[in-house]
Amino acid sequence: GAAVLSAPPLLYCRRRAVRNLVAPRFLAQNKAFAACVIASLGVGISASASVVAMVDSVLHGPLPFAQADRIEVLYIGGRPLNERSYLVDPTVVRALEADGSPFEALAMWRYKAVNIGERDRSAVAWGYEVSPNFPRMFTARMHIGRPFSESDADDERPVMVSHALWTSEFNSDSSVVGRTIQIDNVPHTIVGVAVKEWEFPDRTGVWIMSNSLLAGSGSRAKLSAAGLRKPEIEPGRARAMIASIGTPAMTKKTYQRDRIESESLRRHLTLRLSTAIFVLGLTAGFVGFITAVNF
């Protein structure tokens, strides 16, 4: 009786095992389709892993800047996110450099398309005029040479070049440090070449030291700025102080609710990467859908 009762389950298990072999047999017989399934799986897993790695490193991983948790990036708030501006008046920066500021230091940068002349040829590069303390604030790392600093004389016109520009325009020549080049027909001296991994703001080709960023007025004088928060001041209190000090110093408001605010460097970088993360997420979802349909 026991043998009779056990027969149907054994038969069922054998039939189920045979059915489970259909898919491997089908893939073995249809090699092109099997290759498509495996390739879509690989791309889907790779894209998903890239999204996870990028989001995790930006949101939770260590940033490649010393004291990054104390850096606050200024912007004009009171607007929708897509209309937020990171260009502020020099008067705002001057106000936040005065006594009573939550910052112990402020670094500034302003975009400038530059023409780099080298012997008989020239190239247009994406450049930034930056304050002398910019490399120290954002922990500039050099491949060769050194970053400029507050001790460099402004009339020497020191510059740092990116690793990409050094490779494309200077043929990776290690003797480029100390060389004089023409930037917009003005002689400048290269003091260092940044490592490939350090490039802030993104796509920068050359950093030009300038002590005159706070000079002038009007829309062309606007610049980006970030401050190193004093360690004894909490982030919430520091942002309230920034709004109360910086907003009255604004010379012009595009919108009635415009005010000076700040965000952490981590959030600033996250917002800049949001488009790339969104595209990678869509790619991973689409390929995952195709993979599911194939299976």
Give the tens place of pLDDT for each residue, 137-188. 999 999 999 999 999 988 889 999 999 999 998 999 999 999 999 999 899 9
pLDDT score of 294:
66
Residue 12 pLDDT level (bands cut at 50, 70, 90): low
Quote the percentage of the chain above a pLDDT of 70: 88
pLDDT reading at 16 higher than 70: no
Higher pLDDT, 50 or 14: 50
In which band, very low, low, confident or very high, does the pLDDT at 8 lie, cut at 50, 70 and 90?
low
pLDDT digits (tens, 9 = 90+) for 88-138: 999 999 999 998 999 999 999 999 989 988 666 678 889 999 999 999 999
Q: For residue 1, what pLDDT band results from cuts at 50, 70 and 90?
A: very low
20: part of which helix (H) or strand (E)? helix 2-20
Give the model's pLDDT for residue 117.
80
Task: Supply angle C-alpha 72, 69, 251, rounded to 5.
Answer: 5
Q: How far is CA 141 from the centre of its chain?
A: 15
* Nearest residue to 68 via CA among 84, 52, 79, 57: 57
Least confident of 22-36, 89-103, 170-184, 268-282: 268-282
- Spatial contact of 137 and 71, defined as CB atoms under 8 Å apart: yes
Q: What is the pLDDT of residue 5?
A: 46
pLDDT of res. 154: 81
Q: Sorting pLDDT into bands at 50, 70 and 90, what band is 4?
A: very low
pLDDT at 135: 96
CA distance 129 to 212: 9
Residues of the chain with pLDDT > 90, as a percent, come to: 49
Confidence class of residue 11 from pLDDT cuts 50, 70 and 90?
A: low
Residue 19 has pLDDT above 70, yes or no: no
